[in-house]
Amino acid sequence: MTATFDYTERIPNNVDLAADRRLQRALESWQPHFLDWWGELGPAQFQDRDVFLRTAIGVDRDGWADYGYVRLPEYRWGIFLSEPQKDRTIGFGDHKGQPVWQEVPGEYRNMLRRLIVVQGDTEPASVEQQRHLGATAPSLYDLRNLFQVNVEEGRHLWAMVYLLQRYFGRDGRDEADSMLERHSGDQDNPRILGAFNEQTPDWLSFFCFAFFTDRDGKFQLGALRESAFDPLARTCDFMLKEEAHHLFVGTQGIGRIIERTAELMNTHDTDDVRPHGGIDLGTLQRYLNFHWSVSLDLFGAEVSTNGATSYTSSVKGRFNEDRYQDDHRLVERDIIVPAFVDGQITTGSARSVNAVNLQLQEAFRDDCTKGLARWNRTLTDHGIDHRLTLPHLAFNRHVGVFADANVSPDGEVLSADEWTALSAQWLPTGEDKAFVASLMTPCFDKGRMASWIAPPSTGISGQPTDYEYVRL
């Protein structure tokens, strides 16, 4: 393992690809398909422009990124795993305490393949969802951030394709091909998970996606980083470093919208900032409600035997597994779980091992709550009493215990008719979407921002905010 990646190789990597000719050939024959896909379903504009991007140059803790102008198709997608931890042992499940695995145990092959496929599928899906956003970017700074996220999601696909091709033989190669065949929103061959077939038509949706859905990514990758299958753990560990920026884009993007909205509210002494080119807090809340609920669905059912099996098998843990004060086996223990019984939201009890999805979801919820608190501080700082909130767990769910329940953001159970009549107050309406779409005019002058968003407080990698982040 070298400290700095070798970019003279056709596929930059720190896994000594050159020593495994068969694998190298398999990946090299997948590479042109990836590039074709990127050309067809990656960013629809500006593929021929110089973008100020970071590229990973090493896996060390400090200074892993290098910044410079790159054209998107020339970005060097590579295969990078974090350094192995010496004598790492398994932290949870039946195999707790044993040495980690460098190969896939036969009995867990299908389970691991399935998890890697689901993880991999989300990465190109998000690129597809975001492909038209470049045309309406609110600034060059934001355009650059979009493309940074897109190339890194592309690299995350490479990360999973490497695992599939290296460890899963023929089926792995087939699965790698399928990654480029399923498409977001495709009627016949959609992406695997719900949220990844939704549209991301505007920048408000994009920032919500980066805040909530990339945050599901953070927690899922965190759970897979605990895996006994060490190559998966190391891959996810490095992906998480890139992920931090995606979450920043979401948190800061929405924060800047709120800041702008607050300014407009104060200047014009009104809640209705739409005539002034801002996004009103009501619309923002409806977008948050939607993205929160579809992202909660991504954790799977709160009580799940799939979750239990992957935990018991030491294949998928919890986020920061070692911070849980329990036996890390979760046998013979019960825990309180949410339930929906006879039309009532209540609680029940489940084996704690069956509730690992719930525990991951709870960690996600806590993290989201911190983001909300920060945004609400911005409102307070502007002397505005209004508070943005996260809806009840049961609101607008399609997976898990509340899949069949109709529940308001406050947690009130409704009849199907009441839900139909009222849900337009809580979810983005056609009218909201049309209004948001009407604001989406590009703003490509250096340092300028669209009407509906405040400038960032700092630029990227020490550059000023009015830097030419994309040379148009």
- CA 470/CA 445 separation, integer angstroms: 10
Residue 257, CB-side half-sphere exposure with 13 Å CA sphere:
27
Q: Is 242 in the site for ligand BYC (CB under 6 A)?
A: no
What is residue 165's DSSP assignment? H
Q: Minimal CA–CA distance to 454: which of 267, 247, 278?
A: 278
- The one of ligand BYC, Fe ion, none whose footprint includes residue 148, by CB under 5 to 8 A per kind, is none
Residues 123-142 that bind Fe ion (CB under 5 A): 123
Q: According to CB under 5 A, which one of 121, 214, 216, 302 is a site residue for Fe ion?
A: 214
Q: Is 316 in the site for Fe ion (CB under 5 A)?
A: no
Task: Please identify, among the stretches 13-21, 116-124, 138-146, 307-315, the one whose residues bind Fe ion according to the rule CB under 5 A.
Answer: 116-124
- Give the helix, strand, coil percentages of the chain, each rounded to 5: 50, 10, 40
What is residue 470's DSSP assignment? E
- The one of Fe ion, ligand BYC, none whose footprint includes residue 136, by CB under 5 to 8 A per kind, is none
Nearer to Fe ion, 129 or 285 (CB): 129
Nearer to ligand BYC, 123 or 259 (CB): 123
Q: Minimal CA–CA distance to 133: which of 120, 115, 145, 121?
A: 145
From the CB of 215, what's the least distance to ligand BYC, in Å?
Answer: 8
Residues 282-311 that bind ligand BYC (CB under 6 A): 297-301, 304, 306-307
The answer for residues whose C-beta is within 8 angstroms of residue 445's C-beta and 6 or more apart is none
Q: Is 432 in the site for ligand BYC (CB under 6 A)?
A: no
From the CB of 2, what's the least distance to Fe ion, in Å?
Answer: 25
Q: Count of residues for the chain?
A: 472
Question: Sign (positive/negative) of CA torsion 372, 374, 378, 380?
Answer: positive
Nearer to ligand BYC, 38 or 452 (CB): 38
97: three-class secondary structure by DSSP: coil
- CA 231/CA 444 separation, integer angstroms: 42
- The one of ligand BYC, Fe ion, none whose footprint includes residue 42, by CB under 5 to 8 A per kind, is none
- CA 375/CA 390 separation, integer angstroms: 12
- The one of Fe ion, ligand BYC, none whose footprint includes residue 298, by CB under 5 to 8 A per kind, is ligand BYC
- Determine the Cα angle at 56 with ends 222 and 42, to 5°: 85
Residues 101-120 that bind ligand BYC (CB under 6 A): 115, 118-119
Binding characters for ligand BYC, 134-173, by CB under 6 A (x = yes) = -------------------x--------------------
Nearer to Fe ion, 220 or 408 (CB): 220
325 class by beta-carbon count within 10 Å (0-12 exposed, 13-18 middle, 19+ buried): exposed
Q: Minimal CA–CA distance to 26: which of 180, 165, 145, 138?
A: 165
Q: Is 222 in the site for ligand BYC (CB under 6 A)?
A: no
- The one of Fe ion, ligand BYC, none whose footprint includes residue 321, by CB under 5 to 8 A per kind, is none
Counts of helices then strands in the chain (DSSP H, E): 12, 5
Q: Which residue stretches of 107-202 are H helix?
A: 109-129, 140-167, 169-179
Nearer to Fe ion, 75 or 395 (CB): 75
- The one of Fe ion, ligand BYC, none whose footprint includes residue 295, by CB under 5 to 8 A per kind, is none
CB 62 within 8 A of CB 208: no
Q: According to CB under 5 A, which one of 246, 286, 291, 318 is a site residue for Fe ion?
A: 246
Q: According to CB under 6 A, which one of 194, 201, 348, 442 is a site residue for ligand BYC?
A: 194
Total of residues contacting ligand BYC (CB under 6 A): 25
Q: What are phi and psi of 331, to 5 degrees?
A: -90, 150
Residues in contact with ligand BYC by CB under 6 A are 115, 118-119, 122-123, 126, 153, 193-194, 213-214, 216-217, 220, 297-301, 304, 306-307, 316, 357, 399
Q: Which residues bind Fe ion (CB under 5 A)?
A: 123, 153, 156, 214, 217, 243, 246
